Amino acid sequence: EDQVTQSPEALRLQEGESSSLNCSYTVSGLRGLFWYRQDPGKGPEFLFTLYSAGEEKEKERLKATLTKKESFLHITAPKPEDSATYLCAVSTSGTYKYIFGTGTRLKVLA
Amino acid sequence: DAGITQSPRYKITETGRQVTLMCHQTWSHSYMFWYRQDLGHGLRLIYYSAAADITDKGEVPDGYVVSRSKTENFPLTLESATRSQTSVYFCASTGQGNNQPQHFGDGTRLSIL
């Protein structure tokens, strides 16, 4: 069965304290892995798409990487405005469905 | 403005009533999706649509009905609402192929008393 697992469930960081969020996946025929940011009361906002192992994408303080089994979202020198829930999703061949993890709630303290 | 809009943003209703959640997108995306988001479960797919007049069940379709007569609209109807359907509902869309990211509306928070 296709599955996506995110860890940790919650993470508290001091401002400037770098860390990584993990997204492990078990799917047959990965088509894409997607990272989203979700703020309270809002819908998920697209951040990155990764397609193949070894690929990396960067945006400001965020960097996403992909291996054959997992993806990491690295947050460098986070600021309080980076506080949000980060969601990971995958899409697979043979279906138009997307499978979401349950997210990591990130809190960055000033 | 281009985007995906959901209405209403908040809705309170009673068990047994019919309620329809609206979703409208301006990108002419082929694919549209309805999810519910509950604590501990993440986003769960209710229904999706590949094009006008083409819909299919997702993970949790029971108690819901969808239609898609126009590409830009994808309403979700709860025919006889139950308390277990209290949730936050998100609509999303994407262009051709599921190697593209989905774009989400800001959700409808539905409470069923």
A87/B106 Cβ within 8 A: no
Of A34, A97, A102, which is closest to B101 when you measure between CB atoms?
Answer: A34
Segment B43-96, tens digit of pLDDT: 999 999 999 889 999 999 999 999 999 999 999 999 999 999 999 999 999 987
All residues of chain A having their beta carbon less than 8 Å from the beta carbon of residue B90 are 43-44
Report how far residue B48's alpha carbon sits from residue A51's, in angstroms, rounded to the nearest whole number: 23
Tokens of B57: 């069940």
- Distance from the Cα of A60 to chain B's closest Cα (Å) equals 20
Confidence at residue B110, expressed as pLDDT on a 0 to 100 scale: 98
Report how far residue B86's alpha carbon sits from residue B11's, in angstroms, rounded to the nearest whole number: 10
Report how far residue A49's alpha carbon sits from residue A11's, in angstroms, rounded to the nearest whole number: 23
pLDDT band at B2 (very low <50, low <70, confident <90, very high): low
Which 3 state secondary structure label does DSSP give B85?
helix
Cα→Cα distances B38→B54, B68, B73, B87, Å: 27, 25, 24, 6
Task: Please say if the pLDDT value at position B41 is more than 90.
Answer: no
All residues of chain A having their beta carbon less than 8 Å from the beta carbon of residue B57 are none
Task: Please say if the pLDDT value at position B42 is more than 90.
Answer: no
Q: Which residues of chain A have pLDDT under 50?
A: none
Q: For residue A28, what are the contacts with CB-CB under 8 A and spacing of at least 6?
A: A2, A92, A93
